[in-house]
Structure 1
Amino acid sequence: MFKTLHPNIRARILIQFLSKVVGSMIFPFMAVYFTNELNSGIAGILVTVNVIIQFIAGIYGGHLTDLFGRRQLMIAGEALKSVAYLGMLLANSPMLHSVWLTFLMMLVVSVAQGMINPAADAMLIDVSTVENRAFMYSISYWVNNLSVLIGVMVGGWFFQSHLFLLLIALFLLSLLTTALTVRLLSETLAKQKRTVGNVGITAVFKSYQKVMHDHRFLLFTLGGIALMTVEYQRNNFVSVRLAEELKHLTVNLGALGELSLDGVRILSLLTAVNTSMIILFTGPIAKWVTGQAQRRIMYIGFLLFSTGYAVTAFSNQLLVLFTATVIFSFGELLYVPTRQTILAEIIDESSRGSYVAFNGIIFQLGKILASLSLMISPAIGKYGMAALIVTMGILAILLTNTSLTLKKAPSAEKLTDL
């Protein structure tokens, strides 16, 4: 069935895999990089600024893609990323070491991603159909997790000792993805649909007015933000804590010898367990929850997800950490398909593109809140962070439930039985 997908879809999945697999060797560990070079407080500020820039760029990029087309914006973004990766490479080379140039280049990457992501998402919708869209997103989700699994495993082992070599690989792959974008992708926004509109800030806000007046959807989105605040602790507080508290750990493997671990390598193993479970069980779990009481399963998923992450915020026992990872992985498997199903039901079909685009802010604001929590972590400690993570999980349930119990629009009456 993959061969029946539009060539743009197949090309985009390939480009996404190549870009993600190398990027995952580096960017999940940048909070550790800035903490080692500076301190956790400044690291939290830098990560927060970076996420805010990407959020603003994404909102603006969504507006620009309807003005100038998908392909043009994606090519510009890929080319800009190549320039930024070259800058990061030089900033961490034997000739130069500059944490601030590295940070500046990260900001450029964020701007580039803000151009690429909405254009790519819009292009996928342009060339997919109702019949193959679910399959397309399933393949994309699976490939994304596989690339993260490979990237984080390699990065966890080599990030701190071979960062320069990883950056070389990242730069070379970025040149390849830029070339593939130019060669394989065709424009999907019809010329007659392009508008010579205002590229100013006012025009951007106008396109989101309808969404901002849908209080039910906004509450649902706030619940998603609370949940993503939990998820992005892995690349913020959890990664920094493990790197600081577990510097030298030797595991006896019996006849196989001994395995030397540190916090970053442990994080990569935990991420590998999580991603492997997602890859193996997404299909069966999604099939099982179909026809079930969606809201109840979603809330159970929220609880398991936040509880598992809370344990990783304070425990240093390997068995406990891996058990907690299995728990939050099952929570993720439960809430992802159910939340997506409910989301599809509550959005206004006449403005589906705007609603889906706006829902994307849960990831960016989740990253911002997670990075802010890294800044306050020295004050509240790891047990305080664990309590904060559980609180965010409960808040996600309360906000989502409040949203779904508000008066429904006529088109959403079928949610009653979810």
Structure 2
Amino acid sequence: MSDFLKLDRNIQLRMVIMFITIAIGSSVGPNMTIYYVSYFGAGITGMLLVFVQIAGFIAGLYGGHLADVWGRKRVMLSGIGSMAIGYTIAAAMNSPIYINPYVTFFGFLLATVGMSFASPAEEAMMIDVSTLQNRKFIYAMMYWVVNLSVMIGAALGGWFFKTARFELLIGTAVGAIISLLIVLIWITETFQKKERQNKGQSVWDVLKSYRTVFSDKRYLRFMIAGIGATVIFSSPDYYLAAHLAQTFHSVTVLGIPIFGQRMLSVITIVNTFMIVLLMGTMTKLFAKWSNLKANFVGIAIQGGSFALMFLLTDFWPLLIVAIILTMGEMIVTPANQSLRAEMMNPNKIGAYSGFSAATRPVGYILSSGIVSISVFIGNIGAAVLLLVATAVSMWFTYLAVVMLRENRTM
């Protein structure tokens, strides 16, 4: 706690905002798919969700560019303000006397676009006021906050979404408004006017801004490594889920029947609880490791563990491997995020943050592709592909760090 109190006030407030926005998003986001299916059907819902992801992707790129033009606070106000309006609309359209799923979708679309628009500015602000010395601790703290807020939000959503949806949605709107007020009243601008890019706000200006990022070979290498890492950590949502659903040997533990889908939930619960309880301890244990060493060891443990899970079908071996992979996750996450911040051009942090977020869907696509081709290559082939993604992530991280070190000595 003493280390947290020593941080810049903007970072402290950023963590408060992160806790609120992720908690409210986790409480309603996963359940909205069920909501949409009940009103629109599965086919239309699938297309709507893809549209939301595309809109969020574009908003993130645009927000990253404007964070270097407008400054961080103005972008955050615009994005979080849109999120607050969106959640308020969704709540109003689900009252006990009137329900409109079409306007509800628009409200959630606006909220998602707002969150995506603000995200690069929020990350850029954090980088502005942090240092190489405290950045790993900050990212570890943020990761702990994310997991705690997801756990609380998911519990609230699971308990209240069906029986008290209107009240839950009012809570999300209130939470978003509180976040907006925090930014408006207490957050201070960290990107000075003299440092801002003298560029316009058109689509062409955005493309020109990201052209600089594309020309940074060091950062592109690190983004390729990031795509490989995304393939690894998204495994529970894709191939691992399919593998457990099809091949897991059902068992009864403490009187509770555990089948494939529940086993995936058990793995997620173990992962989240370990991070919430042990993240601070793990950060102190590996504080003296370099970012490169932590990346190598952490991603190797995480990737190797998920690959092994692709081959396992029994409860206890899967549980043991879940514990091991979480250890790797706690080692790699703060180090990787700290290294990513170090790779960025300090004059274009907003654009770099936006581009970083934009590469993640590529990893999700590749991860989902493993599910498709597993029909031909089986569990062993899927495990080998994940090990290839692990090797790619480690190799390109190494190349990027070598270029970073060479740049320091020039």
**For residues 131 and 202 of structure 1, do their structure 2 counterparts lie closer, same or farther at Cα, with a shift above 3 Å needed?**
same
Alignment TM-score, normalising by the size of structure 1: 0.76
The letter of the residue matching 1:394 is V
5+ long unaligned stretches in structure 2: none
Residues 193, 213 of structure 1: alpha-carbon distance in 2 compared, 3 angstrom cutoff: closer
Match of 1:183 in 2: 185
SS in 2 for 1:68: coil
Amino acid at match of 1:280: L
Does residue 391 of structure 1 match 2:385?
Answer: yes
CA deviation after TM superposition for structure 1 residue 3, in Å = 3.2
What is the aligned partner in structure 2 of residue 54 from structure 1? 56
Answer yes or no: is 1:305 the counterpart of 2:307.
no
CA displacement, residues 3-30 of structure 1 (integer Å, 9 cap, x when unaligned): 3333322222212212222222232455
- Partners of 2:311 and 2:165 in 1: CA distance: 28
Greater shift, 280-289 or 180-189, is seen at 280-289
Q: Do the aligned partners of 1:54 and 1:364 also contact (CA within 8 Å) in 2? A: no
Match of 2:76 in 1: 74
- Sort the Cα spacing of 1:337 and 1:180 in 2 relative to 1 into closer, same or farther, 3 A: closer
2:156 and 2:9 mapped to 1: Cα distance? 30
Once residues 170 and 197 of structure 1 are traced to their aligned partners in structure 2, the CA distance between those partners, rounded to angstroms, is 36
Question: Is contact 1:219-1:400 (8 Å) kept?
Answer: no
Residue 336 of structure 2 is aligned to residue 336 of structure 1:
no
SS of aligned partner of 2:69: helix
* TM-superposed deviation, 1:287: 4.5
Match of residue 211 from structure 2 = 209
Return the alpha-carbon distance in structure 1 between the equivalents of residues 278 and 360 of structure 2. 23
The 1:291/1:80 distance shift into structure 2, 3 A limit, reads: closer
Distance verdict in 2 for CA 1:75–1:338, change over 3 Å: closer
The equivalent residue for 2:112 is 110
Q: Distance in 2 between matches of 1:160 and 1:323?
A: 34
* C-alpha contact 1:227 1:392 (8 A) present in aligned 2: no
Distance, in Å, in 1 between the alignment partners of 2:401 and 2:85 is 50
Map 1:85-96; keep pairs closer than 5 Å.
85-90=87-92, 94=96
Q: Deviations over 1:353-383 (max 9, x none)?
A: 654553333434434555x55xx95885699
SS at match of 1:188: coil
Match for 2:406: what amino acid? A
| Percent of residue pairs identical | 29
State the Cα deviation string for residues 145-175 of structure 1 (Å, max 9, x = none). Answer: 2212222344345555654443232122222
Q: Distance in 1 between matches of 2:258 and 2:96?
A: 27
State the Cα deviation string for residues 264-304 of structure 1 (Å, max 9, x = none): 87655543321222233334444544566876764453344
Q: Deviations over 1:41-67 (max 9, x none)?
A: 766554443223212111110111222
2:395 to 378, 401, 406: 401
Among 270, 274, 279, which residue is 2:276 paired with? 279
1:100-249 mapped onto 2 (5 Å cutoff):
101-129=103-131, 132-159=134-161, 163-194=165-196, 197-235=199-237
When residues 158 and 289 of structure 1 are mapped into structure 2, their CA distance, relative to the original with a 3 A threshold, is: same
8 Å contact kept, 2:292–2:401: no
Query: What is the alpha-carbon distance in structure 1 between the residues aligned to residue 103 and residue 389 of structure 2?
Result: 38
Report deviation, 1:87. Answer: 3.4
User: CA 1:222/1:47 → structure 2, altered by over 3 Å: closer, same or farther?
Assistant: farther
The TM-score with structure 2 as length reference comes to 0.77
Contact 2:84 2:176 (8 Å CA) reproduced:
yes
Cα deviation for residue 199 of structure 1 reads 0.5
Cα distance in structure 2, aligned partners of 1:266 and 1:93: 36
Greater shift in the superposed pair: 268-277 or 51-60: 268-277
Q: What count of residue pairs does the alignment treat as equivalent? A: 405
Q: Give the secondary-structure state (helix, strand or coil) at the position aligned to 1:80.
A: helix
Distance (Å, rounded) in 2 between the aligned partners of 1:382 and 1:43 = 29
Q: Contact 1:228 / 1:362 at 8 angstroms: preserved in 2?
A: no
Matched, 1:363 2:360: yes
Note closer, same or farther for the CA distance 1:118–1:233 as it changes in structure 2 (3 Å cut). same
2:406 to 387, 394, 412: 412
Which amino acid in the other structure matches residue 404 of structure 1?
Answer: Y
